[in-house]
C-alpha cells in the first residue's frame, strides 16, 4: 500500500447510506470531508451544527447548510478529516503529531454510516418538553 493513499482516491463521491444521501469531497488541504443530507421535517433540518454537539462523528460536526454540488432541498451536515491528529495530503511530510493518520474514503464512509444512524435515531426521539 502506498504511503499516499489519496493518490488512488477520487475527489468526490455521492451515494446513499442508512436512508440518507451522502457526499464526500476533498477539501482545500486535501483531507476528505463527509456530509449527509436530511430532508425538511427532520429534527436537524436547518439546525446549526454547533447546536448538535451530542452528535458523535470524527472530530465533531464542522458544517451545516446547503451545498451547491448536491440536492438543494436537503440540509447538509458534515465533518472534516483535517484535525491535528489527521494527516493532510498537502502537509503529510510536515505532520507534527506522532500517530496521526490519513483518513481514507472507507473511514469517511464508516463515519457517515454512524452519522446516518444518529440522524435516524433523532427522528425517533420524542420532542423535548419544557
Per-residue pLDDT of the chain (130 residues; tens, 9 = 90+): 568 899 999 999 999 999 999 999 999 999 999 999 999 999 999 999 999 999 999 999 999 999 988 988 999 999 999 998 888 888 766 556 778 889 999 999 999 999 999 999 998 876 655 5
Whole-angstrom Cα distance, residue 120 to residue 125? 9
Which pairs with CB-CB distance under 8 Å and at least 24 residues apart come from 92-99? 92/4
Q: What DSSP designation does 57 have? A: -
- Residue 130 covered by a domain: no
Q: What DSSP designation does 101 have? A: B
- Residue 29 covered by a domain: yes
Give the domain CATH number at 13: 3.30.1460
Q: How many domains does the chain have?
A: 1
- Residue 104 covered by a domain: yes
* Cell numbers given for 63: 458544517
The reported pTM is 0.90
Contact 122, 44 (CB under 8 A): yes
- Residue 101 covered by a domain: yes
- Domain range for 112 is 5-124
Whole-angstrom Cα distance, residue 116 to residue 39? 12
Q: Which helix or strand (DSSP H or E) is residue 35 part of?
A: strand 32-38
Contact 67, 49 (CB under 8 A): no
- Residue 110 covered by a domain: yes
The helix/strand/coil state of 94 is helix
Amino acid at each position: 500500500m502506498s504511503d499516499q493513499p489519496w493518490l488512488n482516491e477520487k475527489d468526490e463521491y455521492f451515494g446513499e447510506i442508512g436512508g440518507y444521501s451522502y457526499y464526500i469531497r476533498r477539501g482545500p488541504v486535501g483531507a476528505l470531508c463527509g456530509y449527509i443530507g436530511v430532508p425538511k421535517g427532520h429534527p436537524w433540518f436547518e439546525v446549526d451544527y454547533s447546536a448538535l454537539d451530542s452528535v458523535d462523528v470524527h472530530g465533531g460536526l464542522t458544517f451545516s447548510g446547503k451545498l451547491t454540488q448536491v440536492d438543494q432541498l436537503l440540509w447538509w451536515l458534515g465533518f472534516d478529516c483535517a484535525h491535528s491528529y489527521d494527516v493532510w495530503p498537502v502537509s503529510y511530510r510536515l505532520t507534527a503529531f506522532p500517530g496521526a493518520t490519513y483518513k481514507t474514503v472507507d473511514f469517511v464512509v464508516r463515519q457517515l454510516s454512524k452519522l446516518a444512524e444518529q440522524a435516524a435515531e433523532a427522528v425517533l426521539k420524542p420532542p423535548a418538553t419544557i
